Every structure is written in C-alpha cells, then in structure tokens.
Chains A and B, each alone.
Chain A
Amino acid sequence: MSETTMASITKTAAAPNSRYHATMENAKRTARRILANPLTMGGIIVVCCLILIAIFAPWLSHYEPTVQDLTNAMKAPSGDHWFGTDEYGRDIYSRIIWGSRVTLYVVFLVTVIIGPVGLAVGVISGYFGGIVDTIFMRITDIFISFPSLVLALAFVAALGPGLDHAIIAIALTAWPPIARLARAETMTLRNADYITAVKLTGASTPRIIIRHIVPMCLSSVIIRLTFNMAGIILTAAGLGFLGLGAQPPIPEWGAMISSGRRYMLECWWMVAFPGMAIMMVSLAFNLLGDGLRDALDPRGE
C-alpha cells in the first residue's frame, strides 16, 4: 500500500498490543484466506473425515476387518455389507475403514521423516554453498535417480516385504525434491537485505538459519509436502498392489485392489471401492495443497 493512500486512510483496526495478539491476527488472516476457496474447503473436509474415520474405526466398522467368512465370500453390496465382501468373506466396508489407519500411518510417518530431513539438507546446502553444497547435492542426486518402486524392490529383496520397510523405501526417494526446494529458496534468501542486516548485528550462523531462513522456506515446504502426500498414498498403494507393502491380512487399500484384481470382472466392488477411496484422499490432499499455496505466500502482501 502506498504512503499516500495509507496515510490518508485512518486506521480503524486497533494496533495489536501484545505478541500473542499479533500472532493470532496473522493466523486468523491466513485461515480466512484458506477457507475462502471452496475447493480447498472440500479438500480439508475430506482430510478431516479421513482422520476421524481412522480414529473412530472400531465404532464405525460393522465387522472385524480380518475375520473370514467363506460362506459369505464375494457377495455384492447389500444392506448387510455396504461395500460387499471379498474372496475371503471379509466385509469390504470395514476393511476400508480400518485401511484408513494404514494410509494415515504411512502418510504421517513418511512426511515426518522427509520434511525435517529435506529441509535441513536443503537449507544447509543452500546457505553454505561451496563444498558443502556439492556434497549434499551429489548425495541428493544419487537418491533422486532411483524410481521409488525400483528402490522398494531392492529394499524388499534385502529386508523382506512389510509396511515399515515400504515406508522407509518411500521416504528414501521422497526427500530429495524437498531438499532441492529448500535449497533453491535458501539461495535466493541468503542475499536478502534482512539477512545481511541480521549478520551485521552479530548473529551466529545457526541463529540465522533457524530463525530467519527456515521460517521463510516453511510455507513452500509445507505446500510441497501436502502435494507429496497424494503421491505417497499412490506409491504405497502401488507397493501394496505388488505385494511389497502391507502384508495380508492388513487391510491396505492398494493390497485390496491387488487381490481383487482377479475377480474384477465379476465382482467390481472389490476393486472399485478401495480405488475410489485412494482417489478421493489423493484428490483431497492435492486440493489442500493448492489452497495452502494460494494462502501461505509470505511475500504475497
């Protein structure tokens, strides 16, 4: 806002009178921007539903997800079984409900690993430049050159299949883009006047990195992580489909599609419902990421 127009408009809002007040005002404004977009709201609602479903799984599901009932195998959707049953007679609806826990587990663990690691590597690399940058970036290059599925195969061959190994494999291939992003942001930021100003006041390098550079990178990284979540879900589903992720009888959505594939033509519900669940959740994370990106740009003002 220009000097002219600002001075001529009387400030009607009260100036924030405490640190808490100021942070709250800021948070409220960001929240308002995020909530303004209906698509983002849709994404948020779906993600919240996912979390609630995962928490209340025992109450929401109708049957035990792993209990087999061969007399009821491959039944179409009905009043008893909303989404039908699979080849072992297990209720698909309940398996999808319980599968949400698996999905959330994977997404959460992978994000919690790649976020801090990628951020740390990227920021340190970008800030120091020189030999540090070269070393970190070559390491990043090595990891980024593996397609995630190939790396997972290698891991599984070494350690055996399983959900936790799948999580590690996904995390190993998902952190480099975060590091690259953080590095790119840091390289632009390190020449900013405010960084120079704070150096001039005698700030130590850790202080500069943690208090000044990381907060500016956070919004891009958060947005990227949110977009990544959709990809993580799909990769986990892919691994599950290949039999490399969650092992039976764990109700993982990708594994459900895999086992339902054989009967797909006659029993469409065995594949359709897990597929829809994956699609909706991926879409929701993408929409959420879009909304966050529109709302969170610190330089947007």
Chain B
Amino acid sequence: MNNPLIEVENLRIQFKNDGKITDAVRNVSFSLGKEKLGIVGESGSGKSTVGRSLLKLHPRSANVMADTMRFKELDLLHATEAQMQKVRGNRISMILQDPKYSLNPVVTVGKQITEAFLVHTKVSKTEAKERTLAMLDAVKIRDPKRVYDLYPHEISGGMGQRIMIAMMMIPEPEIIIADEPTSALDVSVRLQVLAVLDDLVQQRGLGLIFISHDLNLVRSFCDRVLVMYAGRVVESIAAKDLDKAQHPYTQGLLASLPSLENRRDELPVLQRSPAWLEA
C-alpha cells in the first residue's frame, strides 16, 4: 500500500497488575489506508487495546513498544501528550460502544457536539451551532433543532450512537476508530447506524478501523479483516475472501457460528491448540 494513513509494525503492549505482567498485544503489525479495516477477536484478544494504543489511551502502567507506530508523518510511539491532544478527536476520532456511558448525562447533546468542535477549531459559537445542526442532519437525524436541546437520557440507543458519530466527525478527522459501535444496538438500528458510518466514511475518504467480536458483521461491512487471538494477528485477509481463511482459529470460529442457511444438529466446537499462541 502506498502512503498508508497508519503504519504499525511489531506492536507489543504489556499490562502490570498486582505485580503480574500480561502480554496483551504481541507483535501486531498492520497498515491502514483509506479503507474499512475490521479487527475481530474475542474478549482478551487484545483488539480494543490495539485501537486505544493508537490514541495512547492506555493506563500509564502499560508498557507500549513497537518498531513503528506512525500516523502519516507523526511518530505516535514517541509523541508527547501535547501532540496527542492535537490528534485525539481532531485527526483521529474514536467511537465507543455504549452512548449511555460515553455521553455526558448533564449536558445537552447539541452542546456536546459543539464543544467537540470548538476544542479544535476557533470559530464563533453561532457558527459552531450551525455546523452542529448540519452534522446532525448528515447523520440522518430528522429534527436537528429539536434534538440539539435533548439530554442523553431522552434519546434512544441508535440516535445516541449517531450523535457520537456526529461528535466524532465534526472536527473532520482523517481516521475513525470504532470500538464495538453497534454491539449495544438492536439489529434494525444497527443497520441504520452502519449505513450512516458507511456513507460518511466514503464521502470524506476516511480510514476506518472497526473493532468487533461479530465476525459476520465485520465480514460484510469492512474491506479487510484482521483476526486476533491472544494478542496476535492470526489472519489478515480481504473480507470477501474470508471463506478461504487459512488459520485454523478463523476457520473454527466461522464453522462454529450457528447459521440460518447451514443448519446442523451439532455445531462444531472450536478446538483450541496451544500452537496458536506461538504461531
């Protein structure tokens, strides 16, 4: 890939807890262009840790090492906190899982979006509000003026997530990291939120990292997929080629999912091999 937006080589992250050291991420390498990259894994696979490490959002006790961790011309690994503050929310944004927890409950949603904009851009308050209303429209919210004044507890999950997207997109970032953005949503709302995300990513030519445990979803939404297991990337493959996955973990995972078309009496259970921890 020429001119990748993000390039990561041999990322290693260790956490210290109660004197014990855990290798959360082990030698993960990948690059991201103007595409939708999915990172799939179960709990403990390290997928969220990878996402957060790009924005240096891990606790201070964590040990982050890498051969390369670059965002365009910026060296993320050695960036200072001041430099990272200019990046977070401005050039790289992050959408989290549950808007109930990521939106401030005592501030109206409109104000939160405006604030996100004003942090990085110096404009008048009126202009910021206009931009916010335009952004609310862009995420397909039907009555932006009314929704502007609502509090987070007054909106549904799907709308909350679209507001998160608005908040993260308004500073016009170049990359979006979405960590399980639709896991807390109902199936029908999920599709709408993904559609909004899809449109915005395409229109603005952004790079998207989509972190999820839902293999089927990532397969149909993303262009490329990374499968993580116990801190390592075990498979890196184009989404449409997932049927031809090479690694036994991916194959096992795909086979063990219940499916409407392929009805079986007994689901093949994933047999873990200790070799996967090394491979």
A and B touch in the complex (CB under 8 A): yes
Q: Establish whether residues B272 and A2, one from each chain, have CB atoms under 8 Å apart when the complex forms.
A: no
A226-284 contacts to B, CB under 8 A, are none
CB of A193 closer than 8 Å to a CB of B:
no
Complex CA gap A89/B260 in Å reads 94
Chain B residue with the shortest CB-CB distance to A1: B44
Count of interface residues, chain A, beta-carbon cutoff 8 Å: 7
Q: Establish whether residues B43 and A4, one from each chain, have CB atoms under 8 Å apart when the complex forms.
A: yes
Q: Establish whether residues B45 and A4, one from each chain, have CB atoms under 8 Å apart when the complex forms.
A: yes
CB of B42 closer than 8 Å to a CB of A:
yes
A163-205 contacts to B, CB under 8 A, are none
CB of A80 closer than 8 Å to a CB of B:
no
Min CB–CB distance A31 → chain B (angstroms):
15
> Which residues of B have CB within 8 Å of A2?
42-45
Q: Establish whether residues A3 and B42, one from each chain, have CB atoms under 8 Å apart when the complex forms.
A: yes
Interface size class of B (residues with CB under 8 A): 10 to 19
- Report the number of A-B residue pairs with Cβ-Cβ less than 8 Å: 23
CB of B11 closer than 8 Å to a CB of A:
no
Q: Establish whether residues A4 and B274, one from each chain, have CB atoms under 8 Å apart when the complex forms.
A: no
Q: Establish whether residues A8 and B272, one from each chain, have CB atoms under 8 Å apart when the complex forms.
A: yes
CB of A18 closer than 8 Å to a CB of B:
no
Chain A residue with the shortest CB-CB distance to B274: A8
> Which residues of B have CB within 8 Å of A7?
272
Min CB–CB distance B22 → chain A (angstroms):
8
A1-15 contacts to B, CB under 8 A, are 1-5, 7-8
> Which residues of A have CB within 8 Å of B44?
1-5
Write out, one digit per residue, whether chain A residues 4-48 have a CB within 8 A of any chain B CB (1) or not (0): 110110000000000000000000000000000000000000000
Min CB–CB distance B127 → chain A (angstroms):
45
> Which residues of A have CB within 8 Å of B25?
none
CB of B210 closer than 8 Å to a CB of A:
no
Chain A residue with the shortest CB-CB distance to B41: A4
> Which residues of B have CB within 8 Å of A4?
42-45, 229-230, 272
Min CB–CB distance B233 → chain A (angstroms):
14
Chain A residue with the shortest CB-CB distance to B228: A4
> Can you identify 23 A-B contacts, CB atoms within 8 angstroms?
A1-B44, A2-B42, A2-B43, A2-B44, A2-B45, A3-B42, A3-B43, A3-B44, A4-B42, A4-B43, A4-B44, A4-B45, A4-B229, A4-B230, A4-B272, A5-B44, A5-B230, A7-B272, A8-B230, A8-B272, A8-B274, A8-B276, A8-B277
